[in-house]
Every structure is written in structure tokens, then in C-alpha cells.
Amino acid sequence: MLVLIDKLPLSDWVNSFVNWLTQFTGFFNGITNFIGGIVNGFQWLFDLLPVWLFIVIVLGITYYATRHGKKWSLLLFELIGLLLIWNLDYWRDMTQTLTLVLTSSLIALVIGIPLGILMAKNHTFEAIMKPILDFMQTMPAFVYLIPAVAFFGIGMVPGVISSVIFAMPPTVRMTNLGIRQVPVELIEAADSYGSTSWQKLFKVQLPLAKSTLMAGVNQSMMLSLSMVVIASMIGALGLGTQVYFAVGRNNAGNGFTAGLSIVILAIILDRITQAFNRSKRG
């Protein structure tokens, strides 16, 4: 049937929708300034810290997070890995990438957790959100770059925004899942003693969903890290830019070292968030 019809003007429709949206420049400028502020804040902090202090802080955080089951090998790995990045002259690129990842994870968390809570509390909303989340995650990440550039120009901010869209679904999903997994009897117990919805949420549901939720946050963080190279195509600076350049110049060596730095950063972020998740009591 479809072959008998002319090609549907689907892409034209999307284009005109995007064009129509661009008239709200004030709104998009507001978002740009806000996110730009967060990015600059992180970057300012990382530029301020000398390398040795940065490493000490990372080791300190890891030490604290793994206090219930010391992992000296992880501390050693972090020390060597970070020193290697510094030695390869990728330090500033690494902090830029970290800025991008932290900013987009933070935003994904702040938007994603409330959405997950709403999904858990409302069946209709869950039914609407599920396909949207699937769509967000399966759409090739490159595609997000186009509207991001249209609305936010080039640089860190559109990079953050496309990573947020790409990385948020696991946080939303796992928040929803974690809350729904709380045993019925515990919900009944909370209700039968006269808890309000908020009390139930903060005293029972969220604490019990915490480890599932944190697994989602960890996944989101890893996904946003995987956006780093793609985001570099629209001018988000960092290790991704180095990889992108290396590809352009057909320089396998530089591509490898920049890629390795991303892997080191990924492992450090992954292990620290996982350790925080495990260190819960009870």
C-alpha cells in the first residue's frame, strides 16, 4: 500500500516544527545560560585544582566509598590511571569530559528521578512514558545533535543536552522499577499506620528503591560518557575532541591514547558510583 503513496513529508514536518520552535529564542537562551553556568562552575573548579590535589580528592572519595570492603587495587589503578592521563597531556581534556559527564548526569538525575516516581505512582503516565523512553534510547544518538545545534548553537551546552536526552532513560526506568519492587506488605504497613504519600515516598519507597535507582544513575553516567565522542562533533570539548581529531588525521596512536583515557575515566566513575551503592547499611 505505502508504495502507492508519494513519499510522506515526515522530514519536512519535523523541519518546520524545529523551525517553529526556534522562534522561542528567549527560552532557549535561558536554558543555555543555566546549563552554561553549571558547566563553567565545574570547569572553574577543576581548573583551580592542581593535579596532585585532584588525585588526592578522587582517592579520598574512593577510600570513603569503599570503607566497608577496602579495595587497594582500585586505589592503585586510579592513581596510575590519572597519572597516565596527566603524563599523556590529556589532563584538561579529561576535566572537560568529566564536566560534560557530571553536568549531564546531574541534569538527568534531577529530571529523571521525579519522572520515575511519577511513573511508579501513575499507571497512565507509565504507559505513556515507556514508549517515549524506548524511543529516546534507540534513536541513533547522532540525530539529537541536529536539533541541539538548531536551538543551542555549538559548544558544551548542546553537547550536554544531547547527552541528557540519550542518557536519562535508565535513571527514569530504574527509579520506576525500584519503587514498584517494594513489597506490597511494606506499602500496606506504611499506609496502615497513616503515612501521607510524601512520608511513604521518603521513608519507605525511595530508601528501599535506592540501590536499584543508583544502578540506573550509574548506567546513565556510562551512557553520557559514551556520548562524549559524538558530542565533540558539535564542539563539546574534551577527550572526545581528541579522538575525533585523531580520526580525522588518521592518527591511530593518538586515537588510542585518547580512547584509553576515556576508558580510565569510565572505570573510575563506574567503580565509585557502584561502591557508593554497595555501602548502604542494613
Partner 1 sequence: MVKKVEVKNLTKIYGKRGPRVKELIEQGKSKAEILEETGATVGVNQANFEVNEGEIFVIMGLSGSGKSTLIRMINRLIEPTRGTILIDNQDLMGLDKKGLREVRRQKMSMIFQNFALFPNRTILENTAYGLEIKGITKAVREQKAHEALELVGLHGYDDQFPSQLSGGMQQRVGLARGLANDAEILLMDEAFSALDPLNRKDMQDELLDLQAKMHKTIIFISHDLNEALRIGDRIMIMKDGVVVQTGTPEDILTHPADDYVKRFIEDVDRTRVLTVANVMIRPNTVNIDKDGPRLALRRMQENEISSVYVVDSERKFVGFADAKDVIKLIQQGSRDLKSVVQTDVPITHPDVAVNDLMDQLSSTPIPFAVLDDERQLVGIIVRGAVLGAIAGNEVTQ
Chain residues that interact with partner 1, rule: CB under 8 A = 183, 185-186, 188-196, 199, 203-204, 207-208, 280-282
CB of 191 to partner 1, least distance (A): 6
Which of 40/196 has CB closer to partner 1? 196
CB of 118 to partner 1, least distance (A): 19
Which of 80/189 has CB closer to partner 1? 189
Which of 57/186 has CB closer to partner 1? 186
CB of 202 to partner 1, least distance (A): 11
For residue 165, what is its C-alpha cell?
A: 536526552
CB of 177 to partner 1, least distance (A): 17
Which of 12/188 has CB closer to partner 1? 188
Which of 83/189 has CB closer to partner 1? 189
CB of 192 to partner 1, least distance (A): 4
